[in-house]
Amino acid sequence: MASNVVVIDTSARRATIKTTPGKVLSDVLQEACSKFGVDASRHGLKHNNKSLDLSNPIRLSGLSPGAKLELVVLSRSPSVVSVALQLPEDESHGLPSGRLVEKYPSSTTLWIVLRSFEDAAPHRNYTRRGRTKTDTGHDGAGRLYHEAPVLSIMGRELTSFTDLQKTLAQLGFNSGSVLLRMSFRVSDTPLEEAMEQIGQYFQSVQSNEEAGSHATSSTTNKTAQDTNKPIVPEEDRSARSPPEPVSPMQNDTLPTNMPRTQQAADDSASDGLPPPTIIGPGPRPVTVYRPPASSTPRAAQQAFNEADYEPTIRHAKQHQARLQTAGRNKTLLSDKELAEKENAKAQKLAEIKDVQIRVRFPNQTMVERTFSSLDTGRSLYDFARENLQNENEPFLLSYTSAKGSCTIPPSSTERLVPDLGMAGRTLINFSWDEGASVETRTKPILKEHLEAQARDIEIPVIPEIDAPEEPVEKLNTGKRSGNGPSGGKSGKFKFLDKLIKK
Protein backbone atom coordinates (compact mmCIF):
# COMPACT_ATOMS: atom_id res chain seq x y z
CA MET A 1 0.00 0.00 0.00
CA ALA A 2 1.03 3.60 -0.53
CA SER A 3 3.33 5.00 2.18
CA ASN A 4 3.52 8.46 0.65
CA VAL A 5 2.17 10.34 -2.35
CA VAL A 6 3.47 13.39 -4.22
CA VAL A 7 1.03 16.20 -4.99
CA ILE A 8 1.95 18.58 -7.83
CA ASP A 9 0.13 21.89 -8.28
CA THR A 10 -0.34 23.98 -11.44
CA SER A 11 3.00 25.79 -10.95
CA ALA A 12 4.93 22.46 -10.74
CA ARG A 13 5.48 22.72 -6.98
CA ARG A 14 5.69 19.39 -5.16
CA ALA A 15 4.50 18.32 -1.73
CA THR A 16 5.16 14.87 -0.27
CA ILE A 17 2.30 13.64 1.93
CA LYS A 18 2.76 10.67 4.25
CA THR A 19 -0.13 8.23 4.10
CA THR A 20 -1.53 5.16 5.82
CA PRO A 21 -3.93 2.58 4.39
CA GLY A 22 -6.84 4.11 6.30
CA LYS A 23 -6.09 7.73 5.46
CA VAL A 24 -8.80 9.39 3.38
CA LEU A 25 -7.90 11.27 0.21
CA SER A 26 -9.71 14.36 1.47
CA ASP A 27 -7.16 14.55 4.31
CA VAL A 28 -4.37 14.26 1.74
CA LEU A 29 -5.90 17.18 -0.14
CA GLN A 30 -6.15 19.23 3.06
CA GLU A 31 -2.47 18.70 3.91
CA ALA A 32 -1.32 19.48 0.37
CA CYS A 33 -3.38 22.66 0.16
CA SER A 34 -2.09 23.81 3.56
CA LYS A 35 1.49 23.42 2.29
CA PHE A 36 0.73 25.27 -0.95
CA GLY A 37 -1.29 27.95 0.86
CA VAL A 38 -4.48 27.51 -1.18
CA ASP A 39 -8.12 26.81 -0.32
CA ALA A 40 -8.85 23.09 -0.24
CA SER A 41 -12.57 23.59 -0.93
CA ARG A 42 -11.76 24.89 -4.43
CA HIS A 43 -9.32 22.15 -5.45
CA GLY A 44 -9.38 18.45 -6.24
CA LEU A 45 -6.98 15.60 -7.03
CA LYS A 46 -6.35 13.76 -10.29
CA HIS A 47 -4.26 10.70 -11.10
CA ASN A 48 -3.44 9.87 -14.72
CA ASN A 49 -5.97 12.52 -15.87
CA LYS A 50 -8.74 10.84 -13.85
CA SER A 51 -10.49 12.58 -10.97
CA LEU A 52 -10.14 10.80 -7.63
CA ASP A 53 -13.01 10.20 -5.24
CA LEU A 54 -11.86 12.09 -2.15
CA SER A 55 -14.16 10.08 0.11
CA ASN A 56 -12.18 6.85 -0.48
CA PRO A 57 -9.30 5.78 1.78
CA ILE A 58 -5.84 5.04 0.39
CA ARG A 59 -6.36 1.27 0.40
CA LEU A 60 -9.39 1.60 -1.91
CA SER A 61 -7.98 4.27 -4.19
CA GLY A 62 -5.67 1.97 -6.16
CA LEU A 63 -2.64 4.26 -5.76
CA SER A 64 0.86 2.79 -5.77
CA PRO A 65 3.61 3.96 -3.37
CA GLY A 66 4.97 7.32 -4.44
CA ALA A 67 2.07 8.02 -6.82
CA LYS A 68 2.04 11.49 -8.36
CA LEU A 69 -1.26 13.32 -7.97
CA GLU A 70 -2.28 16.51 -9.75
CA LEU A 71 -3.84 19.39 -7.82
CA VAL A 72 -6.57 20.87 -10.04
CA VAL A 73 -8.92 23.81 -9.57
CA LEU A 74 -12.59 22.89 -9.28
CA SER A 75 -15.57 24.80 -10.61
CA ARG A 76 -16.69 27.73 -8.48
CA SER A 77 -20.35 26.75 -8.68
CA PRO A 78 -21.08 23.92 -6.20
CA SER A 79 -22.85 20.79 -7.35
CA VAL A 80 -25.89 19.14 -5.79
CA VAL A 81 -25.41 16.28 -3.30
CA SER A 82 -28.24 14.10 -2.01
CA VAL A 83 -27.80 13.68 1.78
CA ALA A 84 -29.52 10.91 3.74
CA LEU A 85 -29.44 11.21 7.55
CA GLN A 86 -29.82 7.88 9.39
CA LEU A 87 -31.45 8.63 12.76
CA PRO A 88 -31.17 6.57 15.96
CA GLU A 89 -34.02 4.19 16.78
CA ASP A 90 -35.60 6.49 19.38
CA GLU A 91 -35.68 9.38 16.86
CA SER A 92 -36.82 7.52 13.73
CA HIS A 93 -40.46 6.81 14.61
CA GLY A 94 -42.80 7.32 11.66
CA LEU A 95 -40.01 7.76 9.08
CA PRO A 96 -39.48 5.40 6.12
CA SER A 97 -36.29 3.40 6.77
CA GLY A 98 -35.52 5.81 9.61
CA ARG A 99 -33.89 8.31 7.26
CA LEU A 100 -34.30 11.94 6.26
CA VAL A 101 -33.32 12.75 2.67
CA GLU A 102 -32.67 16.21 1.22
CA LYS A 103 -30.49 17.79 -1.50
CA TYR A 104 -27.83 20.36 -0.58
CA PRO A 105 -25.02 22.23 -2.36
CA SER A 106 -21.59 20.68 -1.90
CA SER A 107 -20.50 23.87 -0.10
CA THR A 108 -22.90 23.20 2.81
CA THR A 109 -21.36 22.32 6.18
CA LEU A 110 -22.47 19.31 8.21
CA TRP A 111 -23.70 21.60 10.98
CA ILE A 112 -25.96 23.47 8.56
CA VAL A 113 -27.26 20.12 7.27
CA LEU A 114 -28.22 19.09 10.80
CA ARG A 115 -29.84 22.44 11.51
CA SER A 116 -31.77 22.24 8.23
CA PHE A 117 -33.18 18.81 9.11
CA GLU A 118 -33.87 20.10 12.62
CA ASP A 119 -35.83 23.16 11.45
CA ALA A 120 -37.99 21.07 9.10
CA ALA A 121 -40.12 19.86 12.03
CA PRO A 122 -40.73 21.56 15.40
CA HIS A 123 -40.22 18.40 17.48
CA ARG A 124 -36.71 17.67 16.18
CA ASN A 125 -33.69 18.54 18.30
CA TYR A 126 -30.28 17.35 17.13
CA THR A 127 -27.85 20.15 18.04
CA ARG A 128 -29.21 21.57 21.32
CA ARG A 129 -29.74 18.42 23.36
CA GLY A 130 -28.86 18.11 27.03
CA ARG A 131 -28.69 15.28 29.55
CA THR A 132 -28.25 15.37 33.29
CA LYS A 133 -25.14 13.73 34.68
CA THR A 134 -23.95 13.39 38.28
CA ASP A 135 -20.39 13.64 39.53
CA THR A 136 -20.05 9.86 39.35
CA GLY A 137 -20.82 9.91 35.63
CA HIS A 138 -24.26 8.25 35.84
CA ASP A 139 -27.56 9.73 34.78
CA GLY A 140 -29.49 11.41 37.50
CA ALA A 141 -30.57 14.72 38.99
CA GLY A 142 -27.27 16.43 38.32
CA ARG A 143 -26.09 19.22 36.06
CA LEU A 144 -27.29 19.42 32.45
CA TYR A 145 -24.48 18.62 29.98
CA HIS A 146 -24.43 19.00 26.20
CA GLU A 147 -25.32 15.84 24.29
CA ALA A 148 -23.39 16.44 21.08
CA PRO A 149 -24.29 14.79 17.76
CA VAL A 150 -21.81 12.29 16.32
CA LEU A 151 -21.81 11.61 12.57
CA SER A 152 -20.35 8.47 11.02
CA ILE A 153 -19.44 8.70 7.33
CA MET A 154 -17.91 5.66 5.65
CA GLY A 155 -16.27 4.48 8.86
CA ARG A 156 -15.14 7.96 9.95
CA GLU A 157 -16.53 9.54 13.11
CA LEU A 158 -16.94 13.30 13.32
CA THR A 159 -17.46 14.22 16.97
CA SER A 160 -16.17 17.73 17.67
CA PHE A 161 -17.88 20.97 16.71
CA THR A 162 -14.89 21.82 14.49
CA ASP A 163 -15.32 18.59 12.53
CA LEU A 164 -18.97 19.42 11.87
CA GLN A 165 -17.94 22.72 10.25
CA LYS A 166 -16.45 20.82 7.29
CA THR A 167 -18.37 21.05 4.05
CA LEU A 168 -19.50 18.12 1.94
CA ALA A 169 -16.86 19.03 -0.65
CA GLN A 170 -14.10 18.97 1.96
CA LEU A 171 -15.13 15.45 2.89
CA GLY A 172 -14.91 14.42 -0.78
CA PHE A 173 -18.60 14.49 -1.71
CA ASN A 174 -18.98 16.74 -4.76
CA SER A 175 -21.81 14.79 -6.42
CA GLY A 176 -24.03 11.75 -6.02
CA SER A 177 -25.36 10.80 -2.59
CA VAL A 178 -23.97 10.30 0.93
CA LEU A 179 -25.29 8.53 4.03
CA LEU A 180 -24.75 10.13 7.45
CA ARG A 181 -25.30 7.89 10.49
CA MET A 182 -26.08 9.99 13.54
CA SER A 183 -25.76 9.14 17.20
CA PHE A 184 -25.44 11.21 20.37
CA ARG A 185 -22.69 11.33 22.98
CA VAL A 186 -22.73 13.22 26.29
CA SER A 187 -19.79 15.63 26.51
CA ASP A 188 -18.06 17.14 29.53
CA THR A 189 -19.23 20.67 28.63
CA PRO A 190 -22.33 22.08 30.36
CA LEU A 191 -25.19 22.86 28.02
CA GLU A 192 -25.19 26.63 28.64
CA GLU A 193 -21.43 26.85 28.00
CA ALA A 194 -21.71 24.80 24.81
CA MET A 195 -24.50 27.02 23.47
CA GLU A 196 -22.45 30.12 24.32
CA GLN A 197 -19.39 28.74 22.50
CA ILE A 198 -21.47 27.89 19.43
CA GLY A 199 -23.00 31.37 19.40
CA GLN A 200 -19.57 33.03 19.70
CA TYR A 201 -18.23 30.92 16.83
CA PHE A 202 -20.99 31.95 14.44
CA GLN A 203 -20.69 35.59 15.51
CA SER A 204 -16.99 35.56 14.60
CA VAL A 205 -17.74 33.89 11.25
CA GLN A 206 -20.47 36.44 10.51
CA SER A 207 -18.15 39.35 11.36
CA ASN A 208 -15.47 37.97 9.00
CA GLU A 209 -18.02 37.62 6.21
CA GLU A 210 -19.23 41.17 6.79
CA ALA A 211 -15.67 42.52 6.63
CA GLY A 212 -15.07 40.67 3.34
CA SER A 213 -18.33 41.90 1.85
CA HIS A 214 -17.45 45.50 2.79
CA ALA A 215 -14.13 45.22 0.95
CA THR A 216 -15.60 43.83 -2.27
CA SER A 217 -18.98 45.59 -2.48
CA SER A 218 -19.30 49.01 -4.08
CA THR A 219 -22.34 49.98 -1.97
CA THR A 220 -20.61 49.81 1.40
CA ASN A 221 -23.13 51.74 3.50
CA LYS A 222 -26.14 49.76 2.39
CA THR A 223 -24.31 46.43 2.65
CA ALA A 224 -23.18 47.17 6.20
CA GLN A 225 -26.75 47.85 7.26
CA ASP A 226 -28.11 44.71 5.57
CA THR A 227 -25.49 42.35 7.02
CA ASN A 228 -26.09 43.55 10.61
CA LYS A 229 -29.83 42.92 10.29
CA PRO A 230 -31.43 39.45 10.51
CA ILE A 231 -32.61 37.89 7.29
CA VAL A 232 -36.31 38.68 6.81
CA PRO A 233 -38.48 37.15 4.04
CA GLU A 234 -39.78 39.33 1.24
CA GLU A 235 -43.35 39.30 2.53
CA ASP A 236 -42.37 40.34 6.07
CA ARG A 237 -40.08 43.04 4.72
CA SER A 238 -42.86 44.51 2.58
CA ALA A 239 -45.34 44.34 5.45
CA ARG A 240 -42.99 46.15 7.87
CA SER A 241 -41.75 48.82 5.48
CA PRO A 242 -43.90 51.99 5.43
CA PRO A 243 -45.60 52.94 2.16
CA GLU A 244 -43.76 55.30 -0.14
CA PRO A 245 -44.91 58.93 0.19
CA VAL A 246 -46.84 60.38 -2.73
CA SER A 247 -46.01 63.87 -3.87
CA PRO A 248 -48.77 66.56 -3.73
CA MET A 249 -48.67 66.90 -7.52
CA GLN A 250 -49.63 63.28 -7.93
CA ASN A 251 -52.49 63.65 -5.46
CA ASP A 252 -53.83 66.62 -7.41
CA THR A 253 -53.60 65.05 -10.86
CA LEU A 254 -54.96 61.58 -10.01
CA PRO A 255 -58.42 60.93 -8.53
CA THR A 256 -58.35 59.52 -5.02
CA ASN A 257 -61.05 56.92 -5.60
CA MET A 258 -59.12 55.21 -8.45
CA PRO A 259 -56.99 52.14 -7.59
CA ARG A 260 -53.23 52.34 -8.13
CA THR A 261 -53.22 49.61 -10.77
CA GLN A 262 -55.88 51.46 -12.81
CA GLN A 263 -53.97 54.74 -12.49
CA ALA A 264 -50.80 53.03 -13.73
CA ALA A 265 -52.75 51.53 -16.63
CA ASP A 266 -54.02 54.97 -17.71
CA ASP A 267 -50.52 56.46 -17.48
CA SER A 268 -48.97 53.66 -19.52
CA ALA A 269 -51.72 53.86 -22.13
CA SER A 270 -51.29 57.63 -22.53
CA ASP A 271 -47.50 57.34 -22.81
CA GLY A 272 -47.62 54.44 -25.28
CA LEU A 273 -45.91 52.02 -22.87
CA PRO A 274 -46.67 48.27 -22.54
CA PRO A 275 -49.55 47.22 -20.26
CA PRO A 276 -48.92 47.38 -16.51
CA THR A 277 -47.74 44.36 -14.62
CA ILE A 278 -49.53 42.51 -11.84
CA ILE A 279 -48.59 43.33 -8.28
CA GLY A 280 -47.65 40.00 -6.74
CA PRO A 281 -47.53 38.94 -3.09
CA GLY A 282 -44.16 40.69 -2.71
CA PRO A 283 -43.38 44.39 -3.22
CA ARG A 284 -42.18 43.90 -6.78
CA PRO A 285 -44.43 43.76 -9.85
CA VAL A 286 -45.05 40.45 -11.63
CA THR A 287 -45.92 39.90 -15.29
CA VAL A 288 -47.74 36.74 -16.47
CA TYR A 289 -47.70 35.58 -20.11
CA ARG A 290 -50.08 33.09 -21.69
CA PRO A 291 -48.77 30.00 -23.48
CA PRO A 292 -48.58 30.21 -27.29
CA ALA A 293 -51.79 29.35 -29.12
CA SER A 294 -50.04 27.21 -31.75
CA SER A 295 -47.66 24.31 -31.23
CA THR A 296 -45.59 25.46 -34.20
CA PRO A 297 -42.95 28.05 -33.30
CA ARG A 298 -43.50 31.55 -34.65
CA ALA A 299 -40.14 31.51 -36.45
CA ALA A 300 -41.12 28.38 -38.40
CA GLN A 301 -44.26 30.11 -39.71
CA GLN A 302 -42.40 32.99 -41.34
CA ALA A 303 -41.45 32.84 -45.01
CA PHE A 304 -37.78 32.51 -45.88
CA ASN A 305 -35.59 32.42 -48.94
CA GLU A 306 -33.93 29.08 -49.61
CA ALA A 307 -31.09 30.79 -51.45
CA ASP A 308 -29.92 32.25 -48.14
CA TYR A 309 -28.85 28.79 -46.98
CA GLU A 310 -26.75 27.87 -50.03
CA PRO A 311 -23.00 28.11 -49.31
CA THR A 312 -20.88 30.51 -51.37
CA ILE A 313 -17.17 30.93 -52.00
CA ARG A 314 -17.04 33.60 -49.29
CA HIS A 315 -18.49 31.20 -46.72
CA ALA A 316 -15.92 28.53 -47.61
CA LYS A 317 -13.05 31.01 -47.23
CA GLN A 318 -14.36 32.14 -43.85
CA HIS A 319 -14.62 28.54 -42.68
CA GLN A 320 -11.05 27.78 -43.78
CA ALA A 321 -9.80 30.92 -42.01
CA ARG A 322 -11.51 29.84 -38.76
CA LEU A 323 -9.96 26.36 -39.02
CA GLN A 324 -6.49 27.84 -39.49
CA THR A 325 -6.96 30.15 -36.53
CA ALA A 326 -8.21 27.32 -34.31
CA GLY A 327 -5.27 25.09 -35.34
CA ARG A 328 -2.57 27.51 -34.21
CA ASN A 329 -0.81 26.93 -30.91
CA LYS A 330 -1.85 29.36 -28.21
CA THR A 331 -0.02 30.24 -25.03
CA LEU A 332 -1.93 29.32 -21.90
CA LEU A 333 -2.84 32.14 -19.55
CA SER A 334 -0.63 32.59 -16.52
CA ASP A 335 -1.93 32.56 -12.95
CA LYS A 336 -1.77 36.35 -12.86
CA GLU A 337 -3.76 36.68 -16.10
CA LEU A 338 -6.33 34.17 -14.87
CA ALA A 339 -6.68 36.11 -11.61
CA GLU A 340 -7.10 39.38 -13.51
CA LYS A 341 -9.72 37.76 -15.71
CA GLU A 342 -11.65 36.49 -12.69
CA ASN A 343 -11.41 39.89 -10.97
CA ALA A 344 -12.71 41.65 -14.07
CA LYS A 345 -15.61 39.20 -14.27
CA ALA A 346 -16.41 39.64 -10.57
CA GLN A 347 -16.23 43.43 -10.89
CA LYS A 348 -18.58 43.33 -13.86
CA LEU A 349 -21.08 41.23 -11.91
CA ALA A 350 -20.77 43.53 -8.88
CA GLU A 351 -21.95 46.47 -11.00
CA ILE A 352 -25.23 44.67 -11.80
CA LYS A 353 -27.91 45.80 -9.36
CA ASP A 354 -30.86 43.72 -10.58
CA VAL A 355 -31.69 40.98 -13.04
CA GLN A 356 -34.94 40.23 -14.88
CA ILE A 357 -35.91 36.58 -14.46
CA ARG A 358 -38.64 34.77 -16.38
CA VAL A 359 -39.86 31.40 -15.03
CA ARG A 360 -41.28 29.06 -17.69
CA PHE A 361 -43.70 26.37 -16.50
CA PRO A 362 -44.40 23.00 -18.20
CA ASN A 363 -47.56 24.34 -19.90
CA GLN A 364 -45.43 27.16 -21.45
CA THR A 365 -46.95 29.80 -19.16
CA MET A 366 -44.32 32.31 -18.04
CA VAL A 367 -44.04 34.57 -14.99
CA GLU A 368 -41.57 37.45 -14.98
CA ARG A 369 -40.18 39.53 -12.13
CA THR A 370 -37.10 41.62 -11.33
CA PHE A 371 -34.71 40.37 -8.62
CA SER A 372 -31.92 42.26 -6.92
CA SER A 373 -28.29 41.16 -6.78
CA LEU A 374 -28.70 40.20 -3.09
CA ASP A 375 -31.52 37.69 -3.75
CA THR A 376 -30.61 34.03 -3.40
CA GLY A 377 -31.74 30.79 -4.96
CA ARG A 378 -34.04 30.20 -2.01
CA SER A 379 -35.87 33.47 -2.68
CA LEU A 380 -36.31 32.36 -6.30
CA TYR A 381 -37.96 29.14 -5.09
CA ASP A 382 -40.17 31.13 -2.71
CA PHE A 383 -41.31 33.35 -5.59
CA ALA A 384 -42.17 30.38 -7.80
CA ARG A 385 -43.98 28.64 -4.93
CA GLU A 386 -46.13 31.72 -4.22
CA ASN A 387 -47.60 31.54 -7.73
CA LEU A 388 -48.58 27.84 -7.60
CA GLN A 389 -51.99 26.48 -6.71
CA ASN A 390 -50.41 23.58 -4.83
CA GLU A 391 -47.56 25.20 -2.95
CA ASN A 392 -46.62 22.03 -1.06
CA GLU A 393 -45.70 19.98 -4.15
CA PRO A 394 -41.93 19.58 -4.76
CA PHE A 395 -40.37 21.09 -7.88
CA LEU A 396 -36.99 22.03 -9.33
CA LEU A 397 -35.66 25.14 -11.07
CA SER A 398 -32.88 25.03 -13.66
CA TYR A 399 -31.22 27.42 -16.08
CA THR A 400 -28.70 27.23 -18.91
CA SER A 401 -25.29 28.84 -18.42
CA ALA A 402 -22.01 28.76 -20.30
CA LYS A 403 -21.24 25.43 -18.59
CA GLY A 404 -24.55 23.84 -19.63
CA SER A 405 -27.75 23.12 -17.74
CA CYS A 406 -27.52 23.88 -14.01
CA THR A 407 -30.09 22.94 -11.34
CA ILE A 408 -30.54 25.33 -8.42
CA PRO A 409 -30.88 23.51 -5.08
CA PRO A 410 -34.10 24.40 -3.19
CA SER A 411 -32.16 25.46 -0.06
CA SER A 412 -29.43 27.33 -1.92
CA THR A 413 -28.11 30.47 -0.21
CA GLU A 414 -26.05 31.53 -3.22
CA ARG A 415 -26.81 34.94 -4.66
CA LEU A 416 -28.24 35.05 -8.16
CA VAL A 417 -25.82 37.55 -9.71
CA PRO A 418 -22.42 37.24 -7.94
CA ASP A 419 -22.49 33.48 -7.27
CA LEU A 420 -24.69 31.99 -10.01
CA GLY A 421 -23.59 34.52 -12.66
CA MET A 422 -27.06 35.60 -13.82
CA ALA A 423 -27.10 38.85 -15.78
CA GLY A 424 -29.58 40.70 -17.98
CA ARG A 425 -32.62 38.58 -18.81
CA THR A 426 -32.48 34.99 -17.62
CA LEU A 427 -34.90 32.15 -18.40
CA ILE A 428 -35.58 29.66 -15.57
CA ASN A 429 -37.19 26.31 -16.42
CA PHE A 430 -39.73 24.93 -13.94
CA SER A 431 -40.10 21.14 -13.66
CA TRP A 432 -41.95 18.93 -11.21
CA ASP A 433 -39.88 16.76 -8.91
CA GLU A 434 -40.31 13.00 -8.80
CA GLY A 435 -42.37 13.28 -5.61
CA ALA A 436 -45.08 15.46 -7.21
CA SER A 437 -48.47 13.79 -7.59
CA VAL A 438 -50.02 12.96 -10.96
CA GLU A 439 -53.08 15.06 -10.17
CA THR A 440 -50.93 18.15 -9.67
CA ARG A 441 -49.15 17.61 -12.98
CA THR A 442 -52.45 17.60 -14.91
CA LYS A 443 -54.17 20.53 -13.20
CA PRO A 444 -53.53 24.23 -13.97
CA ILE A 445 -50.31 25.37 -12.36
CA LEU A 446 -50.79 29.06 -11.55
CA LYS A 447 -53.36 30.58 -9.24
CA GLU A 448 -56.67 31.71 -10.70
CA HIS A 449 -56.12 35.47 -10.35
CA LEU A 450 -52.78 35.17 -12.17
CA GLU A 451 -54.29 33.09 -14.97
CA ALA A 452 -57.10 35.63 -15.37
CA GLN A 453 -54.71 38.57 -15.79
CA ALA A 454 -52.24 36.86 -18.11
CA ARG A 455 -51.56 38.43 -21.51
CA ASP A 456 -49.97 37.36 -24.78
CA ILE A 457 -46.33 37.95 -25.57
CA GLU A 458 -45.95 40.84 -27.97
CA ILE A 459 -43.69 39.80 -30.84
CA PRO A 460 -42.48 42.71 -32.98
CA VAL A 461 -43.09 42.39 -36.70
CA ILE A 462 -39.89 42.81 -38.70
CA PRO A 463 -40.56 44.71 -41.94
CA GLU A 464 -39.34 43.12 -45.14
CA ILE A 465 -36.61 45.04 -46.96
CA ASP A 466 -36.00 44.43 -50.62
CA ALA A 467 -32.21 44.36 -50.80
CA PRO A 468 -30.58 44.74 -54.22
CA GLU A 469 -29.46 41.44 -55.64
CA GLU A 470 -25.69 41.11 -55.95
CA PRO A 471 -23.94 38.55 -58.13
CA VAL A 472 -22.78 35.77 -55.81
CA GLU A 473 -20.41 33.05 -56.90
CA LYS A 474 -21.89 29.83 -55.53
CA LEU A 475 -19.80 26.99 -54.25
CA ASN A 476 -19.53 23.84 -56.35
CA THR A 477 -20.94 21.11 -54.09
CA GLY A 478 -19.79 18.26 -56.35
CA LYS A 479 -23.09 17.68 -58.15
CA ARG A 480 -23.01 16.56 -61.76
CA SER A 481 -23.88 19.18 -64.30
CA GLY A 482 -25.75 18.41 -67.51
CA ASN A 483 -23.80 20.98 -69.52
CA GLY A 484 -20.43 19.17 -69.45
CA PRO A 485 -18.66 18.55 -72.73
CA SER A 486 -18.36 14.79 -72.26
CA GLY A 487 -21.53 13.12 -71.07
CA GLY A 488 -22.35 15.90 -68.56
CA LYS A 489 -19.38 15.10 -66.24
CA SER A 490 -17.10 17.73 -64.75
CA GLY A 491 -13.32 17.45 -64.55
CA LYS A 492 -13.49 16.02 -61.04
CA PHE A 493 -15.65 13.07 -62.08
CA LYS A 494 -13.50 12.48 -65.20
CA PHE A 495 -10.47 12.04 -63.00
CA LEU A 496 -12.35 9.59 -60.75
CA ASP A 497 -13.44 7.54 -63.79
CA LYS A 498 -9.84 7.29 -65.00
CA LEU A 499 -8.73 6.00 -61.59
CA ILE A 500 -11.50 3.40 -61.56
CA LYS A 501 -10.62 2.17 -65.08
CA LYS A 502 -6.97 1.75 -64.13
The values of phi and psi at residue 456, to 5°, are -75, 155
Q: Are 71 and 43 in contact (CB under 8 A)?
A: yes
Q: What pLDDT, in 10s, does the model give residues 22-58?
A: 888 888 888 888 888 888 877 888 888 888 888 788 8
pLDDT, position 3: 80
Q: What is the pLDDT of residue 241?
A: 45
| DSSP labels, 1-50 | --SEEEEE-TT--EEEEE--TT-BHHHHHHHHHHHHT--GGGEEEEETTE
Q: Calculate Rg over the CA atoms of the chain.
A: 31
pLDDT at 9: 87
Average pLDDT over residues 155-163: 81
Residue 278 confidence (pLDDT) above 70: no
197, 185, 186: which is closest to 132 by C-alpha?
Answer: 186
Reported confidence tier of residue 269, pLDDT bands at 50, 70, 90: very low
Confidence category of residue 498, pLDDT binned at 50, 70, 90 = low
Q: Tell me the range of 198-202, 213-217, 288-292 where mean pLDDT is highest.
A: 288-292
Q: What is the pLDDT of residues 452-469, one digit of tens each?
A: 888 887 777 767 666 555
What is the enclosing helix (H) or strand (E) of 182? strand 177-190
- Span of 86-90, 302-306, 391-395 with lowest mean pLDDT: 302-306
Please compute, for residue 142, the number of CA atoms within 13 A of its CA located in the half-sphere on the CB side: 15
